[in-house]
Structure 1
Amino acid sequence: MNDMNNTSKPFLESAIRTIKLEADAVNELLVYLDDNFNMACSLMMACTGRVIITGMGKSGHIGNKIAATLASTGTPAFYVHPGEASHGDMGMFTSNDVVLALSNSGETAEIITILPLIKRMGAPLISITANPLSTLSQAANANLHIGVEKEACPLGLAPTSSTTAQLVLGDALAIALLEAKGFSAEDFAFSHPGGSLGRKLLLKVKDIMHCGEDIPIVKQGTPINQTLIEVTEKRLGMTTVVNDQGELVGIFTDGDLRRTLDQELNLKTTAIESVMTQQCSTISGDLLAAEALKIMQDKKINALIICDNQKHPIGALNMHDMLKAGVI
């Protein structure tokens, strides 16, 4: 046990040192933020094509992530490997695009090779480098300086602090553009339709409600025992109660049934309107399912009725429907 503790101590010391160095690199970004950042954002905002991110090695991996973040927050973007660009993938670039190139040294051979082609094409160039005097920095319309003096790697070889700074700067660009464009949560959901967030932000009540013959409905005057048959057959734990014009006048739920049984009423002769809940919650089918869920949670109810403008029931749903649809 002592040997394990002695071994783990250097691990923790190394982790603390690494985190501190990378945190310093991120904090240092604040010192170097200037009008180049405004220029970079302006170029990307004005882009009528795509933002093309490129970078080699670890910078390439960061570039891939930045491209994904931009694309999911309202700025169309994709990553191109600079080595592949020299062998045919330059065909992905157009003069309507903006190029964002990542290179810690600013002298990455594969990027320098395609610089003349980017410049000749006329696509604006943004660079993220640690050397403002590098070839890449000097060629860029806007150079974002990361100024990392020391990598977290004790050998000074593995890109660590520098790639963290690149990543944070990429996030800063994406969020600045998101806010400038007024990108909304619903816009974000359209980029993530398969996830739980997409379901919560895009799914509407009308997409999951029971409708037509599946809506539990009884008319005023229906005895309680016949009402229970409707509740059982439709399996929503409740039924709507309507008048002769088909307008909603109340709801009868499992909770109402328990209260009815306590009263020892004659289930065959007592009309449903004498035991139903008159003030029941109704919603529109165009309401987001997530909003309907909040109503159910706030009011501590398990079902909701969807009505049209004439108070006619056109749908119904319960908490199980929310669970099945993945809203919960």
Structure 2
Amino acid sequence: MNDSNLEQQILASAERVIDIETLAVTNLKQQLDKTFVAACHKLLNCQGKVVVIGMGKSGHIGSKMAATLASTGTPAFFVHPAEASHGDLGMIGELDVVIALSNSGETHEVTALLPVIKRRGIELISITSNDSSSLAKASDLHIKVQVEQEACPHNLAPTASTTAVLALGDAMAVSLLEARGFTPDDFALSHPGGSLGKRLILQVDDLMHSGSSFPSVKPDVSIRNALFEMTDKRMGMTTVTDKQGNLLGIFTDGDLRRAFERDVDIDAPIGDVMTKGCKTVKTQTLAVDAVNLMEESSITSLIVVDSNDKPLGVIHMHDLLKAGVV
């Protein structure tokens, strides 16, 4: 087979797989019924945690399902059924709800746990393609997910079936998220380490330069001395405030260039050349909102003010870049 024919074969195979898996997910909508709703109610009312179990490919899907549930407001974790038989079953409590995944519903490592789960009175939701299977019959609720064919040309390797269950898990997690009224702030609290969490959690108060690192001069200070303040604080700007600490304006590198172009005396008062009406943000403003304001205004720094518009600090685009907000 030449390279051209091989390329065509690869693309044709990929397109066929995507078509089959797209159909599997599309057909999943017709399989949603009151059982799915009842399962969501059971998970909403769960007083413990949601425990997902599954073997092989179903285990990988189950692990992802548990992770998605946990990050969207439903406390959940994955337990490997083989490990459960050797002690990890003790991780599951009577107040928990178990979600068991098995395409056939006869996976030995999963069905071997059924007697203990039932004896302890732990509620069980199963997801299989066979509502006559041992797992389905032993469950409090059974959700049937059946596909017309696997994407595997031999109809053997779990492909379309696992994709459908993955989509079902996402549908369940998002349905629960919306039912709980889970907010972006709630989401951020479970993702503090990632860039998304930083965008949703970090506020300008967390990053601003304040106190002794906050550049500020009085309006009668000379341009020369204002430059010393800018150099000392390394911000490329300084605020100008009155004796009461009220913000009068800002003086930046750009203002300095414009002053020199007009041959302004370097010993002239900074109040004569400062920019009035500078951009500010309130405390507790999200850092990502500060980024948006900077980009809209084509500036690199913002003054952080309190509820009375008194300056408390300054935040620079470099700080936002360093923090991973941008």
| TM bracket, shorter-chain basis | over 0.9
Which residue is 1:272 aligned to?
270
Contact 1:105 1:129 in 2 (8 A): yes
Opposite residue 51 of structure 1, the aligned amino acid is V
Which residue is 2:314 aligned to?
316
SS at match of 1:292: helix
Runs of 4+ in 1 over 2 A off after TM superposition: 307-313
Which residue is 2:25 aligned to?
26
Residues 1:66 and 2:65 aligned together: yes
Which residue is 1:79 aligned to?
78
1:60-209 → structure 2 map (5 Å cutoff): 60-209=59-208
d(CA) in 2 for partners of 1:162, 1:100 = 17
Equivalent pairs counted in the alignment come to 326
Which residue is 1:218 aligned to?
217
**CA positional deviation for 1:310:** 4.4
1:242-261 → structure 2 map (5 Å cutoff): 242-261=241-260
Opposite residue 267 of structure 1, the aligned amino acid is I
Which residue is 1:36 aligned to?
35
Contact 1:248 1:313 in 2 (8 A): yes
d(CA) in 2 for partners of 1:15, 1:246 = 66
Describe the superposition over 1:215-262 as per-residue Cα deviations: whole angstroms up to 9, x where unpaired. Answer: 111112111111111112211111011112222111111121122112
**CA positional deviation for 1:312:** 3.3
Opposite residue 287 of structure 1, the aligned amino acid is T
**CA positional deviation for 1:149:** 2.7
In angstroms, what is the RMSD of aligned CA positions? 1.4
**CA positional deviation for 1:118:** 1.2
Q: Which deviates more, 292-301 or 38-47? A: 292-301
SS at match of 2:276: coil
Aligned identity (percent) is 53
Which residue is 1:325 aligned to?
323
Contact 1:247 1:310 in 2 (8 A): no
SS at match of 2:209: coil
Contact 1:28 1:146 in 2 (8 A): no
Q: Which deviates more, 278-287 or 44-53? A: 278-287
SS at match of 1:37: helix
Which residue is 1:14 aligned to?
13
SS at match of 1:99: strand
Describe the superposition over 1:84-121 as per-residue Cα deviations: whole angstroms up to 9, x where unpaired. Answer: 22221211111100100001111111211111211221
Q: Which deviates more, 276-285 or 33-42? A: 276-285
Contact 1:236 1:317 in 2 (8 A): no
Opposite residue 261 of structure 1, the aligned amino acid is F
Contact 1:103 1:129 in 2 (8 A): yes
d(CA) in 2 for partners of 1:206, 1:9 = 56
Which residue is 1:301 aligned to?
299
Which residue is 1:283 aligned to?
281
Contact 1:128 1:145 in 2 (8 A): yes
